[in-house]
Structure formats: C-alpha cells, structure tokens
Amino acid sequence: MTDTLETPVLEDGGAPEGGAAPKRLFIKTYGCQMNVYDSERMADVLRPLGYAPTDTPEGADFVILNTCHIREKAAEKVYSELGKLRQMKDEKAAAGQGGMTIAVAGCVAQAEGEEIMKRQPAVDLVVGPQAYHQLPELLTRTARARGERIGADFAPNEKFDALPATRGTEGVTAFLTVQEGCDKFCTFCVVPYTRGAEWSRPVAAVLDEARALADRGVREITLLGQNVNAYDGEGPDGKPFTLAKLAYALADIPGIERIRYTTSHPNDMSDDLIAAHGDLDALMPYLHLPVQSGSDRILRLMNRKHGRQKYFDLIDRIREARPDMALSGDFIVGFPGETDRDFEDTMDLVRRVNYASAFSFMYSPRPGTPAATMAVQVPDDVAKTRLHALQALLTEQQVAFNQSLAGRVLPVLFEKKGRHGAQAIGRSPYLQSVHVGDADHLIGRSVPIEIISGQQNSLTGRLIQTN
Ligand code: SF4
C-alpha cells in the first residue's frame, strides 16, 4: 500500500475534436498501486471526451476521488475532501466559470455509495471499481440528472475489455493489473467485500497490453493483483495459465527486461513460481510476501490459513531457488486478542526472516469485517508501543540490507532525473532507489552501477561505464 497520491496521470491530454478547449480533469488517488493503475485507465477513457489532466482541483471541470478502504478513517478522509470540493464547486459556479462534476470512485464508493450520495449533495456520481469503463456514459447521464450510482454490476472482464490499454503510461516502468479480488476473507480486511471474488485477466489480453507498453519504451512491468500469485488466467489453448507461465511469456516480449508482481499470499506461492525465481533472469529478486503476524494463534484469528512454520519453510524454499531474494512484508500489530507473547512471536519471526523492507500498521477495525466485532480489542497505547518496537527492528534490518550492498555492482534501470545537476535516479533489482551523478543521459536504460553507500531508503552509486 502507498500513501495518498495525487495523480497528474497523463502528459498529453489531447484537445477534443473540433478544437474546443480541453476540459480539466483532476483525479486524486488514495491507496494502493491498483488504484493508481485504475486512475490512469479512468483518465484514458475520458480523454476522447476532451478531458485533459490537471494537477489541482481548483477550476477543474471533473474531479474524481479514487478512494481506498484499507486505511484507518478512510471514509472520514473522503468526506473531509468532499467538503473542500463542494466549496470549490460553489465558488466556480458563483464566478460564472461553469460547473464541476464530482465523482467518488474506488472501494469507499463501492462500500458506502448510497451513504456518500446522501451525506454530500455536491457529489454527482458514485462509481465502483468494476464500472470505470462506463464513466463516459455515466457522465452524460449525470449531466441530465444527478445521482447515478454504479457498483459491482459488471464482471471484471467487461471493465478490462472496455478500457483503453495503457495510453497514458509514460516512462520506463509501468503497472499492469492482471488479477482482481480476493477469496481469502482475512478477518481484518474489506477487500473481499469491496473488490469481489478472485478473477484473472486472460493471458492474451495481458500480453497485448504488455506489448503496447514495451512499444512505448517500458522496460519494467509490475503485475498487480490483490492476490496476484493466485493468477489463473485462460491460456492460449483455453487451459489455465499460472503466474509463473505468465512471467515466462512476458519475458519473451522484446523490450521487457524486468518483471515484478505484487501483492502475494503465502498460500499461493506455487512450486512453479518459486522455480521461476531461480531461472528467469527477468523476474526480479524482490518479493513482497505479507505474513501479518508471527503468532500461530493470531494467524488463526486472522483466518490467514497458514501458520508460522509454513511461512518459514516457504522462505527457505524461495531462498534456495534465489539466494539473494530480498523479502518484504506487511505486519499488523494490536490485532484483537494479541498478547505480549503473540507480539514476541512476531518479533521473533522478523528476526528469523530478516526483511529488506516492510510495511507495518496498527490494527484498526474496518466496519463489516469479523475482527471489528472481536471481544478483546488491544488498548491503543499498548499497540503503539509494540508498533514502535517492530518498526525499529524493521528499520534496522532495512538499513543493514541497504548498507550490505555497498561495493557491489548492480544493474540499475534509470527512470528519471534527480534533483542535483545531471543526477539520475533508477531502481536496483531489489527495488531501492539508486541515485547516481552524471547519469541523466542513461534514463530509460539498465546499466551496471557500483554502489558506494546504502542509506535507510535509497542507495548511492557511481558509473563504471558511460556508453
Ligand atoms: S488475502 Fe487477506 S489481506 Fe489480502 S486482500 Fe485478501 S482478505 Fe485482504
């Protein structure tokens, strides 16, 4: 999961036919990379209607809040943002500058659509994640009468078939959604309720989109899915295709040099996927594999459907296949009923696995999930103390991992200019940002770089060749 991202999604919002001035589209994206991807697709589908992206809501003709339900107080944040937008909308109308259509999209829209329409009259449209391809039609209908709400009435394939592929993508890295939804029903999580059942895009559609990305200069693709390693798409012969097979097929596309995928569930780390990490160079040695807790008792209460030993065994097998694999995870502390002993089990698991990076959060109840009604909630101050201890350990491991790379030569894929002179910033195979001086002529290329030092969140390197 990422923090809020404001999304100036496209670089070339073309003017509408007939030469009229482009209409301004502002999309604010909350939450995970899948939402970032969806925002780009929404901008793409609106482009033919003359909407060009803008990076501020002031004066925008169409504002979309693409919401996320994972974080604490997600709905409250949306309502607070809507309050500000309502004021802007009123001011714009009062100044005679035309209307502002306001839409709420994403998981909060899916979960609380009717409530949103009731509580905030400035909202014109609520649209759930499976209906983004309907935005042009919905907009037209909204212009006639406020109050459209489209939820999960569409199958995911209808959405993907109808959305234009990756037109707004720029740069050398791109996300590509291959799977949506989740059947796991972890007791703390809203995703199975907001995104629906697991569904995989057909292989041909994924490969077409990847080829289009490669043609635009993309060299690294991150495959997205709520349970991406549960990918089970229909192959060319109509038979099921695993994520490992998909990775091999993607690696054959000229131009695609790097493949990543996120987020994975331990129970879906299949043998062929682990083996692929051992013999497919394009599959990067970085794996985000959330475990959430190191306590068997808490894992059971979370309905994670595996224990700590199974996770350890899995990590051993992955490291056997790919010894330099950098591991990342997600942790929740203060889950209902978590004792000091349970928390110690989490600390012990972290020490044993040794993460290169990780995300950790304090548990907060999500309405409608089983954990929200569990009897023994952990007091905030206890959870906070545990979170600090866990984060200190994870930071120590992350710094140690980054520093351990000093002196190594790593392939760095350069993505953009840095802040200082001709500095450029790229990514290592382990996903850290790498800052290199006099390298801006290398943007778009993967080049061996000598790592000089490792900091908490990035590496510093220098060129060992300049051609
Ligand atoms: S696996 Fe669990 S945490 Fe992940 S999306 Fe599914 S229900 Fe949520």
Rounded CA separation 330/165 (Å):
30
Rounded CA separation 331/333 (Å):
6
How far, in Å, from the CA of 306 to the mean position of ligand 1? 13
Query: Residue 459, exposed/middle/buried by CB under 10 A (0-12, 13-18, 19+)?
Result: buried
Instruction: Return the closest-CA partner of residue 38 out of 139, 179, 132, 138.
Output: 132
Q: Is 184 in the pocket of ligand 1 (CB under 6 A)?
A: yes
SS3 374: coil
Provide the angle, in degrees to the nearest 10, between the axes of the packed helices 340-353 and 380-404: 10
Number of helical (H) and strand (E) elements in the chain, helices listed first:
13, 22
Q: Quick one: which atom of ligand 1 is closest to the CA of 190?
A: 8
The runs of H, that is alpha helices, within 234-339 are 243-251, 271-279, 296-301, 308-321
How far, in Å, from the CA of 329 to the mean position of ligand 1? 13
Rounded CA separation 427/405 (Å):
13
**CATH class given for the domain over 409-463:** mainly beta
- Nearest Cα residue to atom 2 of ligand 1: 186
Q: Quick one: which atom of ligand 1 is closest to the CA of 192?
A: 7
Q: Is 292 in the pocket of ligand 1 (CB under 6 A)?
A: no
How far, in Å, from the CA of 359 to the mean position of ligand 1? 15
Q: Is 70 in the pocket of ligand 1 (CB under 6 A)?
A: no
SS3 418: coil
Q: Which residues pair with 454 in a beta bridge?
A: 459
**Mean pLDDT score across all residues of the chain:** 88
Q: Do domains 158-397 and 409-463 have the same CATH topology?
A: no
The pLDDT value recorded for residue 32 is 78
Q: Quick one: which atom of ligand 1 is closest to the CA of 182?
A: 6
Q: Is 227 in the pocket of ligand 1 (CB under 6 A)?
A: yes
Q: Is 34 in the pocket of ligand 1 (CB under 6 A)?
A: no
The pLDDT value recorded for residue 96 is 87
The pLDDT value recorded for residue 213 is 95
How far, in Å, from the CA of 408 to the mean position of ligand 1? 36
How far, in Å, from the CA of 365 to the mean position of ligand 1? 14
Q: Is 289 in the pocket of ligand 1 (CB under 6 A)?
A: no
Instruction: Return the closest-CA partner of residue 398 out of 348, 330, 329, 457.
Output: 457
Q: Is 182 in the pocket of ligand 1 (CB under 6 A)?
A: yes
How far, in Å, from the CA of 402 to the mean position of ligand 1? 29
Q: Is 32 in the pocket of ligand 1 (CB under 6 A)?
A: no
How far, in Å, from the CA of 268 to the mean position of ligand 1? 12
Architecture of domain 4-155: 3-Layer(aba) Sandwich (3.40)
Q: Is 332 in the pocket of ligand 1 (CB under 6 A)?
A: no
The pLDDT value recorded for residue 414 is 97
Rounded CA separation 287/277 (Å):
10
The pLDDT value recorded for residue 165 is 57
Superfamily holding 158-397: tm_1862 like domain (3.80.30.20)
Q: Cα dist. 404→73, 326, 452, 453, 454 in Å?
A: 38, 12, 10, 9, 7
SS3 329: strand
The backbone torsions φ and ψ at residue 244, rounded to the nearest 5 degrees and listed phi first, read -60, -45
**H or E element, residue 24:** strand 23-29
Q: Is 228 in the pocket of ligand 1 (CB under 6 A)?
A: no
pTM of the shown model: 0.79
In which residue ranges of the chain is pLDDT below 70?
1-21, 70-72, 143-170, 465-467
Q: Quick one: which atom of ligand 1 is closest to the CA of 195?
A: 5
Domain boundaries along the sequence of the chain: 4-155, 158-397, 409-463
